[in-house]
Amino acid sequence: MSVENLIKVAIADDHKIFRDGIKMALSNKPDLKMLWEAEDGKDLMHKISIKKPQVLLMDIRMPEIDGINAIPLIRKEYADIKIIVLTMYDDQQMISKIMEMGANAYLTKTTDPQEIYEAILTCMNEDFYFNELVNRAVMGKLMQKKNVRHHYGSQAPVSFNEKEIKILQLLSEDKTTDEISKIIFLSPRTIETIRQNMKVKAKAKTIGGLLMYGMRNKLIE
C-alpha cells in the first residue's frame, strides 16, 4: 500500500506510557500511519491545525483543553475526522453524551489492540463503530425518559417507510453496512444513502441519536 493510501492516525493522551503502548500495538498494521501524538488538549488543537489526521484516538480527560471541550471544536473545524474516544471512563451517561457530541466510537483503555484497529477501519468505512458499551449506553439513555423527552421535546414524529424501519432494526442489532446490504439486497452505497436520509428526517446527528429516536417512537423492537 502506498504512503498516500495509508490511514493517518493521531493520538492525544496526557500519559506518555499509554501513547507509547498504543503506537507499539498499532505499529505492525501495514495500512496505518501514526501522524503525531499530543500530550494535552492545547497541543492537540495546535497539531491538528498543522497536519490533519483521518482518525484521532483521544482521551476525554486531559490538561489545558479536555476531550469534552475539544470534540465540538474539532467537529466545527474538521467535520470529516473520525474521533475515537479511548478512555478509562465507562459511565453510560458519559458515553451517551460523548457520542451525541459527535464521537465516532467510544472504547475503554482496557480494549484489546485488535479491536482498536477494527474500530479505526470501521469508522473509516462506515463512520461509526458500535460496541456493546455504546449500545448499552444508548439503551440506558432511552430509559431516562425525562431526559429523552427534553432532548427531542419539540420534535414531531417522522414517517419511515418499511425499508427504512428494517434498516433501523438491523442497525440496532449492530449489523454493518455490508451485512445489511446482503440481508435486504441493496448495495452498501444505497444503504449509506438511506441511513443518511433517515438521520436528516429524524434530525439526528449520529447513528446513536437515530437509534434513540427509533426506540422512543417504538420503531425498533
pLDDT in tens, 113-166: 999 999 999 899 878 887 877 777 766 665 554 444 444 444 446 778 889 989
Residues 137 and 99: beta-carbon distance below 8 Å: yes
- Alpha-carbon distance of 37 to 23, in angstroms, equals 9
CATH number of 144-216: 1.10.10.10
Please determine, for residue 205, whether its predicted confidence score (pLDDT) is greater than 90. Answer: no
Superfamily (CATH) of domain 3-129: Response regulator (3.40.50.2300)
What percentage of the chain reaches a pLDDT higher than 70? 89
- Alpha-carbon distance of 33 to 198, in angstroms, equals 34
Helix (H, G, I), strand (E, B) or coil at 32: strand
Position 153 scores a pLDDT of 42
- Alpha-carbon distance of 66 to 190, in angstroms, equals 37
pLDDT, one tens digit per residue, over 90-123 is: 888 888 888 888 888 999 999 999 999 999 998 9
Query: For cell 422512543, what's the residue?
Result: 216
Q: Cell for 191?
A: 444503504
Position 151 scores a pLDDT of 45
Residues 3-15, mean pLDDT to the nearest whole number: 89
Within the chain, where are the H helices? 16-26, 41-50, 67-77, 92-101, 113-126, 132-143, 145-152, 162-172, 177-184, 188-202, 207-216
Instruction: Name residues whose C-beta falls within 8 Å of residue 47's C-beta, 6 or more positions apart in sequence.
Output: 10, 36, 38
Position 139 scores a pLDDT of 66
What average pLDDT does the structure give for the chain? 84
Length of the chain: 221
Position 2 scores a pLDDT of 58
Position 129 scores a pLDDT of 85
Closest CA to 43 of 22, 62, 57: 62
Position 171 scores a pLDDT of 87
**What's the first-to-final CA gap in the chain, in angstroms?**
43
Q: Are β-strands 7-12 and 82-87 bridged in parallel, bridged antiparallel, or unpaired? A: unpaired
Q: Cell for 178?
A: 455490508
What percentage of the chain reaches a pLDDT higher than 90? 41
- Structural domain boundaries in the chain: 3-129, 144-216
Q: Give strand pairing partners of 82.
A: 55
Sheet strands (E) in 77-130: 82-87, 105-108
135: amino acid identity, one letter: N
Position 150 scores a pLDDT of 44
Question: 67 vs 47, which has greater pLDDT?
Answer: 47
Please determine, for residue 74, whether its predicted confidence score (pLDDT) is greater than 90. Answer: yes
Please determine, for residue 58, whether its predicted confidence score (pLDDT) is greater than 90. Answer: yes
pTM for this entry: 0.68
